[in-house]
Amino acid sequence: MSQVDQNRLVDNFIKLIKIDSESGNELEVALEIEAQLQKLGFEVERLAVPESLSNGFNIYAKLEGKIDESVVLSCHMDTVAPGNAIEPVIEDGIIRSAGDTILGGDDKSGIAAIVEAIQTIQENNLEHKTIEIAFTVFEEGGLHGSKQFDESKIQSKNGIVLDSGGPIGTIITVAPGQQNLKVNITGKPAHAGLAPEQGINALTVAADAISNMKLSRIDAETTANIGVVNGGQATNVVMPSLYLEAEARSIDEEKLAIQVAHMVETFEAAAEKHGAELSIESTRAYNPFQIADSHPHIMAIQEAFTALDIQPILASTGGGSDANIFSEKGLTVANLSTGMSKVHTTEEFIAIEDMQKISQFLMSFLIK
């Protein structure tokens, strides 16, 4: 089998990660990716997103194939912060940042792997499936780009998102849903030195609730966390109000509903106990998905890995990705590892060998 060009793959990856594209600022990288897809012969369409979301656009692209199958390949174009002025360092087959930014392998390693696989297919005049592309903006922090994506453009029933870590061969077939809570606790101000008993401390209410709340790892399928807390004006004022943001996740919808109800009820009980007012906004971030191990799409992915002597690993994850949203839209979408490691940190890195392997997998999958 023809081999992908590792040097070209790395060069393009470096080119992409050097383009600043923190969430909401994807225009420049979207233009570069658009140009690369057009050079490969794709019909490329810009899909507009609200200006309040991004200065860029989602990308839909299609390359007709001669094999009577089609698949949609998806990655997100944005990165988390700190993701500007990335300086990659290559040492002993590992690509990492200089240490003061993330690397951007999440998710540009997937984009580079796709482009290289298709370049290699075309150079060797190999027949391939019809390939659709769904690249999104602002995936980080809410999967916003995929929520805006016009799924009517996509003709494929099956897809692959390249947005996970772990060994190459990892196939995410199970992912949780997430519910978000925005909580406002309103107490009563008072002078903390002269008349503290006349006040209702919103922090005391929150502390009472949290001390009685099941958080962190609930069970093998369910987690919960309080990640944002804002409140207070001065040390001499009984805290009159407090704002919190929390989340719950579970693979199981019933467990998710139970956990969310528990969190809401615990806040309500504490507010009533202390005489505080409470408002809670509960919204669904994304739904869980689960694909049967025996699904033909999953079987085909496993076979392609096995043919390359790569052990396929069916796995679940505690995180959400664009795969959740595209699954909601009716597609069967697996999330595959590109080998990215320590993502969302300044210690992020990726092995060149892993990038080569996932690109080689894509090439193999697309010509069978």
Q: Please tell me the distance from the alpha carbon of residue 240 to that of residue 202, in angstroms, as a whole number.
A: 6
Q: Please tell me the distance from the alpha carbon of residue 124 to that of residue 109, in angstroms, as a whole number.
A: 23
Q: Please tell me the distance from the alpha carbon of residue 344 to that of residue 341, in angstroms, as a whole number.
A: 9
Amino acid in position 316:
S
Across 254-331, where does the E strand assignment appear?
A: 277-286, 289-290, 313-316
Q: Please tell me the distance from the alpha carbon of residue 42 to that of residue 114, in angstroms, as a whole number.
A: 13
- Taking phi first (over 0 means left), then psi (-120 to 50 degrees means alpha), and beta for anything else, what does residue 253 get? alpha
Residue of 328, 288, 281, 72 lying closest to 173 (CA atoms) = 288
From the CA atom positions of the chain, what is the Rg in Å? 23
Point out the residues that are catalytic: 78, 139
- Determine whether 280 is exposed, middle or buried from the number of CB atoms within 10 Å of its CB (0-12, 13-18, 19+): middle
Q: Is 149 helix (H, G, I), strand (E, B) or coil?
A: coil
Q: Please tell me the distance from the alpha carbon of residue 150 to that of residue 135, in angstroms, as a whole number.
A: 12
Q: Please tell me the distance from the alpha carbon of residue 232 to that of residue 264, in angstroms, as a whole number.
A: 22
Q: Please tell me the distance from the alpha carbon of residue 140 to that of residue 162, in angstroms, as a whole number.
A: 14
